[in-house]
Structure 1
Amino acid sequence: MSSDAASQTTPAIPEPGPLPEGMVVREAAKADVPALFALLQAEDLAATGESSLVVATVQHWFDSERARRRGVTRVLEREGEFVGLWRVYRNFDDKYWVQVAVDRRLPGATVDALWRAGLHWVEVTALAIADSLGVDRPRLDAWVCSDDALTRRHAEAAGYEQTRAFIEMQLELADYRGPAPDPQVTIRRADIDGPDSPDLRLMHALVTASFRDHFDFIERPYDEWVQNRLDDPLNDFTHWYIAAHDGVDVGALIGHNGYIEVDNAGYIANLGVLREGRGKGVAKALLHTSFARYAADGRVAVKLEVDAESPTGATHLYESVGMYRRMVGFDFFKWPRGKG
Structure 2
Amino acid sequence: MTDTLTVRPAGPGDASDICALLNAVDVIEIGRPETDLGTVEADLNHPGVDLATDSWLAHRGGRLVAYALVWNDSGPGRIDCDHYVLPGDPEAAVRLLELMEARARAMAAGAGQPRLRLQLNVEPTLDLALLTRRGYRTVRHYQVMTRGLTPADAAPAAPAGLTLRHCGADEADRRRAHALVEETFAAHFGHVDRAYDAWLDHLDARALDWSLVWIASLPGEGDAAVLLTRDDRTSMGWISHIGVREDLRGRGLGGFLLRHAFAAYTARGRDTLGLGVDTANETGALALYEAHGMRLHYAVDTWELPMHPQG
Scaled by the length of structure 2, the TM-score of the pair is 0.89
**Counterparts of residues 119-198 of structure 1 (less than 5 Å):** 119-131=97-109, 134-148=110-124, 150-178=126-154, 179-193=156-170, 197-198=171-172
Partner of 1:317: 288
SS of 1:85's partner is: strand
Partner of 1:5: none
Deviation, structure 1 residue 98: 2.1
With over 3 angstroms needed to count, the CA separation of the structure-2 counterparts of 1:217 and 1:61, relative to structure 1, is closer
Partner of 2:77: 94
Which of residues 12, 22, 27 is equivalent to 1:40? 22
Q: Tell me which moved more, 214-223 or 237-246.
A: 214-223
One-letter identity of the residue aligned with 2:193? E
One-letter identity of the residue aligned with 2:175? R
SS of 1:337's partner is: coil
Partner of 1:114: 92
SS of 1:213's partner is: coil
One-letter identity of the residue aligned with 2:210? F
Unaligned runs of 5+ in 2: none
CA contact (8 A) 2:153 2:262 kept: no
Partner of 1:242: 215
One-letter identity of the residue aligned with 1:256? R
Partner of 2:243: 272
CA contact (8 A) 2:48 2:71 kept: no
Partner of 2:178: 204
Deviation, structure 1 residue 308: 0.2
With over 3 angstroms needed to count, the CA separation of the structure-2 counterparts of 1:167 and 1:234, relative to structure 1, is farther
Deviation, structure 1 residue 151: 4.0
With over 3 angstroms needed to count, the CA separation of the structure-2 counterparts of 1:141 and 1:70, relative to structure 1, is farther
One-letter identity of the residue aligned with 1:103? L
Partner of 1:307: 278
Mapped to 1, the partners of 2:147 and 2:192 lie a distance apart of 29
Mapped to 1, the partners of 2:232 and 2:131 lie a distance apart of 26
Deviation, structure 1 residue 64: 4.6
2:246 paired with 1:257 = no
CA contact (8 A) 1:245 1:282 kept: no
CA contact (8 A) 1:234 1:257 kept: no
With over 3 angstroms needed to count, the CA separation of the structure-2 counterparts of 1:240 and 1:151, relative to structure 1, is farther
CA contact (8 A) 1:27 1:73 kept: yes
One-letter identity of the residue aligned with 1:60? A
Number of equivalenced pairs = 306
CA contact (8 A) 1:76 1:82 kept: yes
Deviation, structure 1 residue 68: 3.9
Partner of 1:14: none
Measured on the aligned residues, the alpha-carbon RMSD in Å equals: 2.4
Partner of 2:306: 335
One-letter identity of the residue aligned with 1:77? H
**Counterparts of residues 2-81 of structure 1 (less than 5 Å):** 22-68=4-50, 72-81=54-63
Which of residues 60, 66, 71 is equivalent to 1:84? 66
One-letter identity of the residue aligned with 2:276? E
Scaled by the length of structure 1, the TM-score of the pair is 0.82
Deviation, structure 1 residue 124: 0.6
One-letter identity of the residue aligned with 1:150? L
CA contact (8 A) 1:48 1:148 kept: no
Deviation, structure 1 residue 258: 4.5
Mapped to 1, the partners of 2:147 and 2:228 lie a distance apart of 17
Q: Tell me which moved more, 292-301 or 180-189.
A: 180-189
Once the two structures are superposed, residues 59-102 of structure 1 have per-residue CA deviations (whole angstroms, 9 ceiling, x without a partner) of 23444544447971111223433332232122324222223323
SS of 2:108's partner is: helix
CA contact (8 A) 1:75 1:86 kept: yes
CA contact (8 A) 1:241 1:254 kept: yes
Once the two structures are superposed, residues 27-47 of structure 1 have per-residue CA deviations (whole angstroms, 9 ceiling, x without a partner) of 212222222111111112222
SS of 1:270's partner is: strand
Mapped to 1, the partners of 2:44 and 2:50 lie a distance apart of 6
SS of 1:38's partner is: helix
SS of 1:309's partner is: coil
